[in-house]
Structure 1
Amino acid sequence: MKLTILGGGGFRVPLVYGALLTDRGEGRVTEVVLHDLDDSRLYAVARVLAEQAATVPDAPTVTATTDLDEALRGADFVFSAIRVGGLEGRANDERVALAQGVLGQETVGAGGIAYGLRTVPVAVDIAQRVARLAPDAWVINFTNPAGLVTEAMSRHLGDRVIGICDSPVGLGRRIAKVLGANPREAYIDYVGLNHLGWVRGLRVAGRDELPRLLADPDLLGSFEEGKLFGTDWLQSLGAIPNEYLHYYYFNRETVRAYSEVERTRGAFLRDQQAQFYDEMKHPDAAALTAWDRTRAEREATYMSENRETAGAGERDADDLSGGYEKVALALMRAIARDERTTLILNVRNQGALSVLDTDAVIEVPCLVDANGAHPVAVDPLPDHATGLVCAVKGVEREVLSAAENGSRTTAVKAFALHPLVDSVNVARRLVEGYTEVHPGLAYLK
């Protein structure tokens, strides 16, 4: 099978290739094509992959190209892992938002909207090219904001595009661990949008073990989300929220913490990864060692401002190992080999969550087989969660409309309607600020 990775010069690509190296089954990926606009980044990542494969017999071959059409032709699977505007763009997203006193995180609030506005037109172009050049390919979307981008691509690819995220997987794994259950044997009742979902149950052998966790403050406070949100709040919710909901539930504290740091997350990653790519320009540099070192630092500092605000301390070692690449491999195997499994994915609703329409992309457990991912029907959310999901989905739809029509007025509307942007005037200033720093938003008129 041929796998094409768009954004193939991206820092996390070796995680995907490392997962592929563990797959020795029939019908596995034998050819990987890396596509990126930056050939120097392609060169750096290809060096890391070569060192990963050095001791693995019959490892998938790796080629690299800056020609998108060439990369797509004949692909069986396409991973879309692009970052429009690069990490400089992410740093600007954060800076412009914080200057207006609102959150600039890359998938949540003003920053997520800005990222979506410049990413959706590129993602739509990719979807149209896939439909023309590789109509039988399955697209697995890693690109953030994952739910929004997946929905944009689904308008051209239907159910052949599936979004993935490692946050629900990590959350379910942590809950299972503290309950003494095997994560592989647990069914996670999770529902929402990408980076906006809740675990409402964790069933083992047909029994829901979540009430036992919620009733035990010591157990509840022993893992990441308990430390981050506090046991009282989790017991009040009666569910375990995705860690990204910390930006909503503790917004003022988070904005203040982000405003006080010396460098925002995007600026930190921009500088850190620039060092890695610069190091790779030296032919004698140990590519895999340098990448491992950089990744460890990246993971250890993930959401550090939120944890500092909550007094949550350092992340546990088990939470530093990523996970989205494992979801991607399981998804590919299920489709390519009809190895039926259940995964939490971003897919079109198809009636699974009654409060949203059929085409709305949601994040829920899905049954996956050779015919793709099929969302499992879920119980309605409580009112507070329903309101938040509907509000954010409404914002996503305004972003899609602005991107399709090039409407600056609709872009202002998208910002103004977001729960974390508290003023129409702030929304107008955000659009002005973002169009000044992002050439990719010049289409907004």
Structure 2
Amino acid sequence: MMGSVKLTVIGGGSSYTPELLEGIINNQEVLNVSEVWLVDVEQGKEKLSIIEDLSKRMVEKAQCSIKIVATLDRREAIKNASYIITQIRVGQLAMRRKDEYLSIQQGVVGQETTGAGGFMKALRTIPVMLDICKDIEELAPDAWLLNFTNPAGIITEAILKHSNVKVIGLCNNPINFYKKFASTYNVSTEEVSINFVGINHLIWITGLYINGESRIDDILTGKSDIYEAKNIPSFGWDLDFLQSMQAIPCGYHKYYYQTDQILEKQLEQLRDNETRADQVQEVEKELFEIYQNPKVQDKPQALEKRGGAYYSEAAINLIKSIHSDSKKVHTLNVRNNGAISCLPDDVSIEVNCVVEKHQITPLQVGEVPTQIRGLLQKVKAYEELTVEAAVTGNKGTALQALTLHPLIPSVERAKNILADMLPVNEQYLPQFYQEI
């Protein structure tokens, strides 16, 4: 049994929190969590209160001795925490909707983690996350920060470059691949081994092994299908394309490889006010109505519609590995440090890592095939400039970042997007509006 653990969730009023709490309860024998602190901002006060009540009912039903504390006092929540999970949304779902609508209206893909929408979300979020990190440095310097806040790779990179916090970026994409292939081949996830190369929401599978036997050709030849995220339109993959690539793309690659189809679908959704942002608002409303019911004591099935399935499992598995010094392999967002030789050392990458109590080490990827390297380097350069723009508030850097993104076709379009989006986000972007 480990020493007792204080776990803090920043963005505790999120609809995802019940799934995280379920994971903590189910692993309490190993984790020995004594307190879970849920912290949020004033605008999220009502949701936080609903999550607090549901969390207490879940703990009571499980007959756990976990103390649930909900607060708007972030510093108190961070103080002496062992693990801190960030899942914040600066500007709430209203700004996500504006990101998507303004992008699609400009004739580019609207998405919350990439392209123009992901760019604006990063600009709003990075200063807030770095502010949180100052509190962690002061009040819980030994804590591990597990970041789920999207765009997770960019946010993690900003923290790696501009703070001393022990940060790891997490995504539910890799764990979903493990579960999908385990189900396909009727084996446990322990019998599945996957080689990943890339950055958050832009990872390629370059090796798939079931009990040590390579099965990647099953996917490349269409004998077997792959994991499809519920929140991304599915048009299938062209098998000639997959075979010539010799790798399996993740769902988010569709924004790059099937841009025309995605955009056509989004323009249709925009006309009907049914974009992904609209759908998420509906699901969120439905979830909180369920959460409010005093008879509900479990995580509801409807949560799966939110698109973040198994994220808590990824978090809990990682916490268990760190705490027990397991030396297990997890797929994480960490500082590159030469693991992917065609990218700078100081950027965030998403690869397999060995997890120890005192450190997390990315495994060497080796030579990256040209057909992967081309898109990877371009999107990573966009991410580097986005971090710089968010920290400095330099509009020129912001323009260069957007223009470089593969989903933005021209300088003119990038300028129009900035002219549209910066004023709408003014209250969240003081760095761009300070008096010179």
TM-score (norm 2): 0.90
1:249 aligns with 2:257: yes
Q: Larger deviation: 23-32 or 226-235?
A: 226-235
Aligned pairs (5 A) from 1:46-445: 46-158=52-164, 160-215=166-221, 217=222, 219-221=223-225, 224=228, 228-261=236-269, 262=272, 263-277=274-288, 285-288=294-297, 292=300, 294-296=302-304, 298-299=305-306, 302=307, 322-438=309-425, 439-445=427-433
Distance verdict in 2 for CA 1:251–1:233, change over 3 Å: same
Distance verdict in 2 for CA 1:408–1:341, change over 3 Å: same
Give the letter for the 2:339 counterpart: A
- Is residue 124–residue 429 contact of structure 2 (8 Å, CA) maintained in 1? yes
- Is residue 25–residue 64 contact of structure 2 (8 Å, CA) maintained in 1? no
Q: 2: distance between equivalents of 1:85 and 1:385?
A: 34
Q: 1: distance between equivalents of 2:275 and 2:228?
A: 22
Q: Secondary structure at the match of 1:58?
A: coil
Q: What's the RMSD between the two structures over aligned residues?
A: 2.1
Q: 1: distance between equivalents of 2:19 and 2:291?
A: 17
- Which residue is equivalent to 1:309? none
Q: 1: distance between equivalents of 2:319 and 2:244?
A: 38
Q: Secondary structure at the match of 1:54?
A: helix
Q: Larger deviation: 378-387 or 417-426?
A: 378-387
> Offset at 1:322?
1.4
Give the letter for the 1:434 counterpart: M
Give the letter for the 2:148 counterpart: F
Distance verdict in 2 for CA 1:117–1:199, change over 3 Å: same
Q: Provide Cα deviations, 1:162-189, integer angstroms capped at 9, x if missing partner.
A: 0000112212332343244432122210
Q: 1: distance between equivalents of 2:262 and 2:358?
A: 42
Q: 1: distance between equivalents of 2:137 and 2:407?
A: 36
> Offset at 1:54?
2.5
Give the letter for the 1:266 counterpart: A
Give the letter for the 2:429 counterpart: L
1:9 aligns with 2:17: no
Q: 2: distance between equivalents of 1:79 and 1:202?
A: 30
Q: Secondary structure at the match of 2:58?
A: helix
Q: 2: distance between equivalents of 1:22 and 1:271?
A: 29
> Offset at 1:265?
0.9
Q: Secondary structure at the match of 1:411?
A: helix
**Structure 1 unaligned residues grouped into runs of 5+:** 303-320
- Is residue 176–residue 227 contact of structure 2 (8 Å, CA) maintained in 1? no
> Offset at 1:275?
4.8
Q: 1: distance between equivalents of 2:108 and 2:23?
A: 38
- Is residue 146–residue 169 contact of structure 2 (8 Å, CA) maintained in 1? yes
How many correspondences in the alignment?
419
- Is residue 287–residue 303 contact of structure 2 (8 Å, CA) maintained in 1? no
- Is residue 179–residue 213 contact of structure 1 (8 Å, CA) maintained in 2? no
Q: 1: distance between equivalents of 2:57 and 2:373?
A: 47
Give the letter for the 1:253 counterpart: Q
- Is residue 97–residue 111 contact of structure 1 (8 Å, CA) maintained in 2? yes
> Offset at 1:129?
1.4
Distance verdict in 2 for CA 1:30–1:107, change over 3 Å: same
- Is residue 128–residue 156 contact of structure 1 (8 Å, CA) maintained in 2? no
- Is residue 197–residue 363 contact of structure 1 (8 Å, CA) maintained in 2? yes
- Is residue 392–residue 418 contact of structure 1 (8 Å, CA) maintained in 2? yes
Q: Secondary structure at the match of 2:432?
A: coil
- Is residue 221–residue 227 contact of structure 1 (8 Å, CA) maintained in 2? no
Distance verdict in 2 for CA 1:161–1:222, change over 3 Å: closer
- Is residue 88–residue 267 contact of structure 1 (8 Å, CA) maintained in 2? no
Give the letter for the 2:246 counterpart: G
Give the letter for the 2:317 counterpart: A
> Offset at 1:74?
0.8
1:19 aligns with 2:23: yes
Q: Secondary structure at the match of 2:80?
A: coil
Q: 1: distance between equivalents of 2:100 and 2:295?
A: 33
- Is residue 324–residue 357 contact of structure 2 (8 Å, CA) maintained in 1? yes
> Offset at 1:401?
1.1
Q: 2: distance between equivalents of 1:279 and 1:52?
A: 14
TM-score (norm 1): 0.89
> Offset at 1:356?
1.0
Give the letter for the 2:343 counterpart: L
Q: Larger deviation: 378-387 or 192-201?
A: 378-387
